[in-house]
Amino acid sequence: MPSNSIDSLLHESRRFAPSEAFSAASEASADLYTSAKEDRVEFWADKAREYVHWHKPFTETLDWSTPPFAKWFADGELNVAYNCLDRHVLAGNGDRVAIHWEGEPGDSRSITYAELTAEVKRAANAMAALGVGQGDVVAIYMPLVPEAVIAMLATVRLGAAHSVVFGGFSAESLRSRIDDASAKLVVTADGGWRKGKVFPLKAAVDAALANGESSVTNVLVVKRGDNEVEWTEGRDLWWHDQIEAAEPEHEAQGFPAENPLFVLYTSGTTGKPKGILHTSGGYLTQAAFTHKNVFDLKPETDVYWCTADVGWITGHTYVTYGPLANGATQVLYEGTPDSPNPGRWWEIIQKFGVSIFYTAPTAIRSFMKAGRQIPEQFDLSSIRVLGSVGEPINPEAWIWYRDVIGAGTAPIVDTWWQTETGAIMIAALPGLTTLKPGSAQVPIPGIKIDILGEDGTRVDPPNGGLLVVSEPWPAMLRGIWGDPERFKETYWSKFAQLEGEQYFAGDGAHVDEDGDIWLLGRVDDVMNVSGHRLSTTEIESALVSNPIVAEAAVVGAADEATGQAVVAFVILKSNQEHAQTAAEASALLRQHVAKEIGAIARPREIFIVAELPKTRSGKIMRRLLQDVAEGREIGDTTTLADTTVMQIISDKLN
Ligand code: PRX
């Protein structure tokens, strides 16, 4: 089983101390922990001055007078795009490559900081000409091409906020996100490359904006796929035409530290995705600080590659903002890991001499399955730091990653964080920490984490409990877009009985005798599929929106490759039971979920059943369904209203 279970982890005793050479050259030193411990708030003020250029310096560090609404560096002003671009050019690093971009078909572009700055300036002017300014939201629905990053930076350069919607989400998901944030402009592409084919994006934007009033006044379309697109005159504009026509100069203005930077939607325990709001100064400080220290970044010599798409938080913080704020050279790759050949990623590492590589356990496990003979065909000797994110990494995958990709020597930093936390919260610092495979280990300097029991008492090692962040942090979410009550309720109410605010992350964890933290997965109805967050209730809603479905229950079942997989149990409406076979109904419904939410949410399996296990109060007992989905013996059924239900379900499925 790929996800971590306490039993297997407690027996994990391998330890890997940093090499002397690595420690000697380490960016981070132990006094980071000491100074953060002495004065946590002052520590962050120092980091904000060290990592960020302020148009107007701040004099207040943290305002926590109205929790859970934090303000960091509130009277300071900055321009986030200036921090990621102009200041590097002004410091004489304009010729340094910012992005080595590789398209899936093999086309490639290297863009220097000077060139990236020039393109963002033009894009900002083009967007301003379309009326975008502070207070507006720009939706970005793109393949992983440089223009996706350029559009993000152009938006924030104007003081507007972006809402990036992952290109794999459906038109329906895009529509709800555009509407929720009242986006004014959409930036998209005709199509992008994936698995050797062009997938259309503009068509989904058209569908999302069809029928009904929309806040969107224009759609900017990047030419990438060269596929045919429909055109709405007056609304749709080609990106390249607008950029060419735009003025080249654009002076970056300072905006308040708490100016909204972006909204990013993520799945929660209820049906509707939440728009997580991040602001500027605190977010950029923690993004840059963690990127430098957790990955031991040396901007002059390293080539960094984070494989995330900018549609996810990892792509926001560790593709766009962290690396560019630090003046790093990075790789951006449009396609899938195995197109057009199973060694595509390793070929890219060899081509660009990637030295820091950051990816998800699910990818590592699938490479592991394909065999070490594939990466062994490539020269990966440039690698010196490896990172993992998105889900617990099982020790076998950890060891394989270090041995096969990291030549048996590269430190692995397992980074725990969330869309909501904005930046890394728990991770080893590679020059300082003795690594333990499977553990994310220690809070980064300046972050306070606790593991609590249900009753709010701190758990003693080696027991498990619930992970909370017990002090505000600079990159913390500032709220849920348009819904302050839901923000309080979701994250801050679980331990309301305790003195002091506790941010409840939704994860289980245990802490060992050394104080190292081992993540155990979600404790709520959120699934983690290939490192992506999906909500059981959101998929259930999608299923019952189909006219043939009477009732549906979804569980995340352990899966060798993807960590968890979506498994659904569906009761058909009585007039449908004989209209099609179970196989037909299940194929139709898998497709329906992909259309409603996106292909990532498509269930691995759908079981058509006659009953669902419910308690006397009508609550579906997902735990029992999970037993079925994972092929285990069914657990305790005594609390079911009808104890024969599970027998009926398993008889039908066997
Ligand atoms: O359950 C945790 C898991 O991913 C969740 C956050 O998902 P998302 O907001 O999509 O962000 C993913 C990328 C930061 C967490 O609540 N998770 C993330 N990183 C780890 C992890 N679980 C264990 N170990 C990790 N390193």
The string of DSSP codes covering 351-365 is HHT--EEEE-HHHHH
- What Cα–Cα distance (Å) separates residue 632 from each residue in 624, 625, 629, 645, 650? 9, 10, 8, 16, 11
105 Cα–ligand 1 center, Å: 31
Q: How confident is the model at residue 575 (pLDDT cuts 50, 70, 90)?
A: confident
Give distance in angstroms: CA of 363 to centre of ligand 1: 15
How far, in Å, CA of 644 to CA of 242, rounded? 65
Taking only the tens place, the pLDDT of each residue in 414-463 is 999 999 999 999 999 999 999 999 999 999 999 999 999 999 999 988 88
Cβ(266) to ligand 1 under 6 A?
yes
- What is the atom index within ligand 1 of the atom nearest the CA of 533? 10
Q: Whose CA is nearest to atom 12 of ligand 1?
A: 390
For residue 603, how far is its CA from the centre of ligand 1 (angstroms)?
20
- Ligand 1, atom 22: closest residue by C-alpha: 391
DSSP 557: E
CB of 391 closer than 6 A to ligand 1?
yes
Interval 67-85 mean pLDDT: 98
- Model confidence over 292-320: pLDDT tens digits? 999 999 999 999 999 999 999 999 999 99
- For residue range 219-264, list pLDDT tens digits in order: 999 999 999 999 999 999 999 999 999 999 999 999 999 999 999 9
Dmax over CA atoms of the chain, in Å, equals 74
CA of 73 to the centre of ligand 1 (A): 27
Rounded to the nearest angstrom, the distance between the alpha carbon of 470 and the centre of ligand 1 is 18
Ligand 1 atom closest to Cα of 415? 26
Q: Percent of the chain having pLDDT more than 70?
A: 98
pLDDT tens for 587-622 read 999 999 999 999 999 999 999 998 899 888 888 888
Distances (CA, A) of 436 to 14, 364, 408, 517: 6, 17, 14, 10
Hey, what amino acid is at 528?
Answer: N
- Rounded Cα–Cα distance for residues 473 and 285 (Å): 10
In whole angstroms, give the CA distance from residue 577 to residue 571. Answer: 9
Enter the tokens of residue 511. Answer: 């802490």
Give the mean pLDDT of the chain.
Answer: 95
Rounded-to-integer distance, Cα 317 and Cα 297, Å:
15
C-beta of residue 428 within 8 angstroms of C-beta of residue 402: no
What whole-number distance in Å separates Cα of residue 24 and Cα of residue 431?
A: 8
Q: What residues does 141 pair with on adjacent strands?
A: 188
Q: Whose CA is nearest to atom 14 of ligand 1?
A: 418
The whole-number pLDDT of residue 644 equals 83
Q: Is the pLDDT of residue 497 over 60?
A: yes
Residue closest via CA to ligand 1's atom 26 equals 416
Cβ atoms 40, 32 nearer than 8 A: no
- At residue 200, the pLDDT reads 96
Report whether pLDDT(283) > 90. yes
Where residue 654 falls among pLDDT bands split at 50, 70, 90?
low
- Give the span between the Cα atoms of 618 and 220, in whole angstroms: 48
Atom 8, ligand 1: which residue's CA is nearest?
A: 418
Mutate to test the pocket of ligand 1, among 507, 529, 534, 564 (most ligand atoms within 8 A of CB): 507
Report the alpha-carbon distance of residue 397 to residue 376 in Å, rounded. 16
- Does the beta carbon of 313 lie inside 6 Å of ligand 1? yes
Residue 1 has pLDDT above 60, yes or no: no
Q: Is the pLDDT of residue 333 over 50?
A: yes
Q: What confidence score (pLDDT) does residue 5 get?
A: 62
The answer, yes or no, to whether residue 99 has pLDDT greater than 70, is yes
Which pLDDT score, from 0 to 100, does residue 646 have? 84
Does the beta carbon of 507 sit less than 6 angstroms from any atom of ligand 1? yes
Burial (0-12, 13-18, 19+ Cβ within 10 Å), 296? buried
More confident residue, 179 or 10: 179
Using the mean position of ligand 1's atoms as its centre, give its distance from the Cα of residue 387 in Å.
Answer: 13
Of 191 and 623, the one with more pLDDT = 191
Residue 6 binned pLDDT confidence (cut-offs 50, 70, 90): low
d(CA 460, CA 152): 44
Q: How far is the CA of 211 from the centre of ligand 1 (A)?
A: 36
Q: Is the CB of 421 under 6 A from ligand 1?
A: no
Query: What is the position in ligand 1's atom list of the atom closest to the CA of 312?
Result: 10
Measured from the CB, is residue 239 less than 6 Å from ligand 1?
no
Residue 619: Cβ within 10 Å count: 11
Atom of ligand 1 nearest to the CA of 388: 26
How many A from CA of 477 to the centre of ligand 1? 15
pLDDT (tens digit per residue) in 397-406: 999 999 999 9
Q: How far is the CA of 533 from the centre of ligand 1 (A)?
A: 8
Cα–Cα distance for residue pair 427/433, rounded to 1 Å: 9
Beta carbon of 506 within 6 Å of any ligand 1 atom = yes
Query: What is the per-residue pLDDT for 41?
Result: 98
Integer CA distances (angstroms), 3 to 10, 99, 366, 522, in order:
14, 34, 14, 11
How far apart, in whole angstroms, are the C-alpha atoms of residue 585 and residue 549? 9
Ligand 1: centre distance to CA 424 (Å): 10
Distance from Cα 579 to the centre of ligand 1, integer Å: 42
Confidence of residue 649 (pLDDT cuts 50, 70, 90): confident
CA of 278 to the centre of ligand 1 (A): 17
Confidence of residue 652 (pLDDT cuts 50, 70, 90): low
On whether the CB atoms of residues 316 and 309 are closer than 8 A, the answer is no
Higher-pLDDT residue of 461, 161 = 161
Tell me, using a 6 A CB cutoff, whether residue 416 lines ligand 1.
yes
pLDDT of 29: 96
pLDDT of residue 2: 42
Output the CA 526–ligand 1 centroid distance in Å: 11
Q: What type of residue sits at position 2? A: P
Angle between helices 202-209 and 171-181 (to 10 degrees): 60
Report CA-CA distances (Å) from 282 to 19, 39, 127, 478, 491.
Answer: 33, 17, 26, 10, 19
Residue 10 has pLDDT above 70, yes or no: no
Which pairing describes strands 517-522 and 449-452: parallel, antiparallel, or unpaired?
Answer: unpaired
The predicted pLDDT at position 536 comes to 92
- Rounded CA gap, 499 and 605, in Å? 45
Decide if pLDDT at 30 tops 80: yes
Give per-residue pLDDT as tens, 508-532. Answer: 999 999 999 999 999 988 999 988 8
Candidate of 169, 283, 389, 417 to mutate for ligand 1, largest count of ligand atoms within 8 Å of Cβ: 417
pLDDT of residue 267: 86
Q: What is the DSSP letter of 375?
A: G
Distance CA 520, CA 342 (A): 31
CB neighbour list of residue 25: distance below 8 Å, 6 or more residues apart: 431
